Structure 1
Amino acid sequence: MTELEVVQRSENRYRVGAQAFRLGQSWQPYPRLLELARGELRRLAATTRASSVLAVPCDGHILIAAASLTRPQDSLLLRPGSTVPQRTGRFCPTWQTEHELVAIEAAIRLPTGQAVGSIAAVTAPPQSPVAISDTVARAARTLSAALAN
């Protein structure tokens, strides 16, 4: 595996190699979704002053596929590549009780109506979820429309 650059040996340990990194960077939950979402996540974070995430279903869990973080402490919980158990009918987890965070999400849909993931603003109280729900919904509609083109 070291010859194929899948892993790299460092002293007595192994870590991800260059080839595994390249493969991971090319992964897409849905064609063009990551490329389209990154700019929208930055805009959402700037507008709401809340961390924003793209969440997608993955093997019965929710995968944080991309994020734009506004608070350093969010990096542990909202790190791209992290997973959490999926709730019925929702993509984005709610951390309100466990971590005192609230996720305001909206589904990203294909023209068929099928949801391929969700975009969410993740905020800590006292910020009002109601105040940013329209902005999140608009971001989801923008991404849905871009996927249709």
Structure 2
Amino acid sequence: MTTPTPPEGKFVSSDDAVARFEGTFPPARVPWLKFRIFDVENALMGDVPSLRKTLPDIIEASAAAGDPDRVERVKQLVVDKVLGLYRNPDGATQVSQTMEQDTTSRSYGFYQDPTRGRIAFTAQELDRVKLHRKRRRRITTMPIAPWGIGCL
């Protein structure tokens, strides 16, 4: 059986994620990292359709909408999600360990962060990476009648 080759991400490379990791990232985990980058980017593109275009088109559309830093925010979100999955893969909110009698307990709860330990995005995270176009003012007409004559 052959080992599948992990694809490179559209917005983030494994080098970007390793560079933002606070310690030394284990080289043996880089293939896992590449797969998770791919997974997180696919989930994000599913939630934000404007990210499905090619990267040059996204950069051009973002600059035209007055948001040239949008791709950098996408990179930051993807890296934060992937490294969050690496640091806390099962989504535990509290871990306690007693050494003397070998007691270990893990608490799970989604009241603090419902996206912890899985690929999901909050509404605020999605809003940060969506393309916000400038809205035009609506031009309307209003019928005006001269004095003494009713409007039709």
- Richer in helix (by share): 2
Q: Larger strand proportion, structure 1 or 2?
A: 1
**TM-score, structure 2 length as denominator?**
0.27
